[in-house]
Amino acid sequence: MTDSNSITTTEGDNSFLTNTNAFEHTWRVATAFSKSKMVPETFQSKPEDCMVALMMAQQLGVNPLLALQNIQIIHGRPGFSASFAIGLANERGPFNGPITWTVKGKGDSLAVTAKATIKATGEIVGNTVSMEIAKAEGWTKNPKYKTMPEQMLRYRSAVWLIRSHCPEVLMGFPSSDEMVDIQPMKRVNEVETGSTVASLNSELMEGAKKVEEAIKLDKKNKEVLEADLKIVREEEPPETQEDFDPFA
C-alpha cells in the first residue's frame, strides 16, 4: 500500500522526462494553464514557466493549480508562499497537530516562537525569531516588517521550524519571504561605478588602451622608417667596379 500523502517521489513521477507521450501530455496541460486568466499573471501566456511549475507540483505531490497559485518568482527564482509551506508542514510533516506560536514583547522587543510536537517522540520543538534578528539580518528593509511585524515573524519562525525539523516537506524550495529578504548578488558587470572593483577595472581598461595605442604608434613609426629607407636606396646611384677607385 502507498500513503496518498507521501511526498516521496517514485520513478513514475518523473516519467515525463523520459517518456515522450508523458512529456507531450504535460506540455499540453501547461499550455492550457498558460491560456487561462485564472492563473496568476506571472504564468499567463508562458507555457514554459507553467511546465516548470507542473514539474514542481509533481515533485511535491500537490495539485497543479494549487502550486501555480502559490509559486512566486522573486529575483528570477521560484519560491512558495510561507502560508503554503506551513500548510504542507501541518499536513505532511512529522508534527502531532499544527504549528502554533507564542508572542512576547512589542515594538523592537517583539519576538515570535513557532513550535510543534514531534509525533514520534513527543518532543516539543520550536524556533524563535525576533525583531532584533530581523534588523541584524536586514529583513526590515521589507516595509511589511513595519506594517505587520508580528505576522512576518510568524512566517519566518515557522519556515525556520520547517527547515530545521522537516526540510523534506519543501524539497529544498525556498519560501518567497526568504527570497524577498535576501538581496541577489550582483554580477561583475553590475558593480557600482564608484566601487573599488569598478575603479580597478576602469584603470586596467585604461592601461590596456594605452598599451594598444603605443603598439599602433610603434607599428606606424616602423612603417614610416621602412618607407624612408626605401626612398634612400632608390636615390643612391648603383656602385660598380669601374667607378670604384681605392686611391681616390
What are the tens digits of pLDDT across the range 11-54?
445 567 778 888 899 999 999 999 999 999 999 999 999 999 99
Q: How many residues does the chain have?
A: 248
Q: What is the Cα–Cα distance from 18 to 24, expressed in whole angstroms?
A: 11
* Geometric angle at alpha carbon 111, from 150 and 141, rounded to 5°: 60
The model's pTM: 0.63
| 115 phi/psi in degrees, rounded to 5 | -145, 160
Indicate whether 243 pLDDT > 80. no
Spatial CA neighbour of 144 closest among 99, 181, 183, 102: 181
In the predicted model, what is the mean pLDDT of residues 47-68?
91
Spatial CA neighbour of 149 closest among 114, 183, 91, 107: 107
Q: Are 91 and 73 in contact (CB under 8 A)?
A: no
Mean pLDDT of the chain: 80
Q: Are 42 and 49 in contact (CB under 8 A)?
A: yes
CB atoms < 10 A from the CB of 21, how many? 9
Residue 232's pLDDT band, with cuts at 50, 70 and 90, is: low
What pLDDT was estimated at residue 171?
83
Q: Which residues are 117's β-sheet partners?
A: 124
Cα–Cα distances in Å, from 235 out to 109, 228, 238, 240?
Answer: 96, 11, 9, 15
Cα 122 to the center of its chain, rounded Å: 38
Helix then strand count (H, E) for the chain reads 9, 5
What pLDDT was estimated at residue 191?
44
CB atoms < 10 A from the CB of 137, how many? 13
Summarize pLDDT for 137-186 with one digit per residue, the tens. 999 998 999 999 999 999 999 999 999 999 988 888 888 777 776 655 44
Instruction: Supply the Cα-derived Rg of the chain in whole angstroms.
Output: 34
Domains of the chain: 9-74 (no CATH), 77-182 (3.30.160)
